[in-house]
Chain A
Amino acid sequence: MSVLVIAEHENGVLKPETAKVVSAAVKVGSQVDVLVAGHNVAGAADAVASIAGVNVVKLVDNVSFEHQLAESSADLIVEIAGSYSHIFASASTTGKNILPRVAALLDKSQISEIVDVIDADTFKRPIYAGNAIATVKSLESQKIVTVRASAFDAAGEQAPVAVESLSNDNANTLSSFVGVEQTESERPELTAAPVIISGGRGMQNGENFALLNGVADKLGAAIGASRAAVDAGFVPNDMQVGQTGKIVAPDLYIAVGISGAIQHLAGMKDSKVIVAINKDPEAPIFQVADYGLVADLFDVLPELEQAL
């Protein structure tokens, strides 16, 4: 068994998901190679070389992969796919964008968002917003798989292995990059944060989300939101935790003014410890919370900030 893992990086920096995908890959095969494709990503490739279990790092550093567009990235991965028995990528928006294109080009069915590896062919994955867990067995000769990074512990470190530079210049005429608006934040990213505090419709408006800042500062937490808060226009969609947003599993998740719709629970119920703050004692969020506090969030948040 040999696995090609597609590294996840942003602005030349390796993202923590990669070490988690490697740890899923190691469960499948003894040879795990990692492809780092982008522009000015030599630093990310060096970081990959030190992830325990990585055999060889393949580096493609070329301006044509600067924005990791699906069309050129998929063609590149197909060229490198060769004899690998498995191709793994994180189920991030980047991985989700690129990997199904790779699968179709290789004429293979893809298995999305695995949360467990049973054996080299068999995986567990949530379906119906996590209301059921399917065990699926791939009958394909080459398995194309995206991995829910939050379900795996990050692989440890090792003495760095070799980084192999490949030259590739895929001209892509099917799409071009126009621009990017990155959410500026001093806070950790949702998918990597050990602590998350999220607000829901109970926050009442976007301005009130600032009330979460004080607590987040004290805990070094990322700030998330429910789909209801996003739909109501309080905050941007990249803050959304849920079936259709980000799937997270931090050590501590604090849900503030969130009722706990199925959709939201699907995104956070694997958190180690869940705290719910809601004035409605009947809110479904209390059924999954380790600690519930039935109170008005506008009273609780300043008090909590003080107490921490």
Chain B
Amino acid sequence: MKVLVPIKRVIDYNVKARVKADNSDVDLTNVKMAMNPFCEIAVEEAIRLKEAGSATEVIAVSIGDKACQEQLRTALALGADKAIHIETDAKLESLHVAKLLAKLVEQENPELVILGKQSIDADNNQTGQMLGALTKRGQGTFASKLVIEGENAVVTREVDGGLQTVSLPLPAIVTTDLRLNEPRYATLPNIMKAKRKPLDVVAADSLGVDLAPRVELVKVEEPAKREAGVIVESVEELVTKLKTEAKVIS
């Protein structure tokens, strides 16, 4: 079974995003970048499938400028067999990404695509579902458990009221939630080995997808700031203030 893992280069999750002074966007100059945390979980799950003997090949793919090769090397160091960089400087929406990935799915024909449920920059939570629609495959989103049973992927999904389990005939699309696994760290020898693993570069333009914007970013602002309130000295004072000042309890 071949597994395709799309990954995204995003702002490091420990870094607080700052808005540019001209309100045109978030300022990413000299900001530490990393693999999107949900994508790390996707890479880990694919590698575990390979270690368990269910997967035979793990291919990592990333779309963006040259810098995202850094995250592809990380995926290779973690255990992916090869990487594909779809190169473009265009600012892409989830639909564009899903369309480019659909082209790659057509070429590589993986039985399983595992990707993060959302990126922590745009917070869209769309790409996996869109890829499911475009490739006419079933989708197991927000997965906290993935089991390959014969010709099916059985996916336990984190839903608002608890957990839902669905069975998807392969080929299928799975998106990861936090509890699916705990990603490993790359070891130094594996980081060295990763430098020799294949990394193919494909020009996004060569895939025949219209990448024209469909959503215009009008402006980006700081959220309304919440003022710190008061420190109360006791539970009694707290309850009194909630009753008489905030009037949220009676």
User: Does B204 reach chain A (CB closer than 8 Å)?
Assistant: no
**Complex A-B: 17 CB contacts under 8 Å:** A93-B157, A94-B160, A97-B129, A100-B125, A108-B214, A110-B95, A131-B17, A132-B222, A135-B217, A137-B216, A180-B162, A182-B161, A230-B179, A274-B229, A289-B229, A303-B235, A307-B239
Q: How large is the interface on B (under 10, 10 to 19, 20 to 34, 35 or more residues)?
A: 35 or more
Given A103-B126, A291-B230, the answer on whether A175 and B235 have CB atoms closer than 8 Å is no
Quick check: is B62 within 8 A (CB to CB) of the other chain?
no
B45 within 8 A of A: no
User: What B residues does A252 contact at CB under 8 A?
Assistant: 242, 246, 248-249
* B238–A275 touching, CB < 8 Å: yes
CA distance A275 to B231 in the complex (A): 10
Indicate whether A128 reaches chain B with its CB closer than 8 angstroms: yes
Cβ of A170 to closest chain B Cβ, rounded Å: 13
Please name all residues of chain B whose beta carbon is closer than 8 Å to the beta carbon of A126 when the two chains form the complex. 123, 223
Contact B221 A133 (CB under 8 A): yes
By a beta-carbon cutoff of 8 Å, the part of chain B in contact with chain A is 11, 13, 16-19, 26, 93-95, 98, 118, 120-134, 136-142, 144, 154, 157-169, 172, 177-179, 213-223, 226, 228-232, 234-236, 238-239, 241-242, 246, 248-249
Q: Cβ of B235 and Cβ of A293 under 8 Å apart?
A: yes
Contact B168 A289 (CB under 8 A): no
Residues of A close to B158: CB separation below 8 A: 93, 237-238
* A272: nearest chain-B partner, CB-CB: B248
Contact A292 B120, CB 8 Å, known A100-B125, A135-B218, A139-B214 = no
Contact at A128–B134, with CB atoms within 8 Å?
A: no
A40 within 8 A of B: no
- Do the beta carbons of A129 and B217 come within 8 Å of each other? no
How many Å from the CB of B148 to the closest CB on chain A?
14
Distance (Å) between the CB of B26 and the closest chain A CB? 5
Q: Are B166 and A176 in contact (CB under 8 A)?
A: yes
A67 at the interface (CB under 8 A from B): yes
A70 to B238, CA, bound (A): 46
Interface size of A as a range: 35 or more
Contact A70 B139 (CB under 8 A): yes
- Tell whether, in the assembled complex, residue B166 and residue A304 are in contact, meaning their CB atoms are under 8 Å apart: no
Could you tell me which residues of chain A, from 133 to 149, have a CB within 8 Å of some CB in chain B?
A: 133-140
Interface contact A103-B95, CB-CB below 8 Å: yes
Known: A133-B223, A269-B226. A96 touches B161 (CB 8 A): no
A132 x B218 contact (CB < 8 A)? no
Known pairs A139-B215, A307-B239; A109 contacts B162 (CB<8 A): no
Q: A97-B141, A129-B123, A132-B26 are in contact. Are A175 and B161 (CB under 8 A)?
A: no
Q: Which residues of A contact B226 (CB under 8 A)?
A: 269, 274, 287-288
B36 to chain A, nearest CB (A): 11
* Residue from the list B18, B123, B136, B241 in contact with A174, Cβ < 8 A: B136
A300: which B residues are within 8 A, CB to CB? 235
CA separation between A182 and B159, bound complex, in Å? 9
State A33–B162 Cα separation when bound (angstroms).
29
Which of chain A's residues has its CB closest to B14's CB? A262
Please name all residues of chain A whose beta carbon is closer than 8 Å to the beta carbon of B219 when the two chains form the complex: 134-135
Inter-subunit contact A231/B231 (CB<8 Å)? no
A244 to B238, CA, bound (A): 30
| Minimum distance in angstroms from A307 CB to a CB of chain B | 5
The answer to whether A183 and B161 have CB atoms under 8 Å apart is yes
Interfacial residues of chain A within 94-110, with CB under 8 A of chain B in the complex: 94, 96-105, 107-110
A139 to B138, CA, bound (A): 29
A97 touching B123 by the CB < 8 A rule? no
Q: List chain B residues, Cβ under 8 A from A138.
A: 214-216
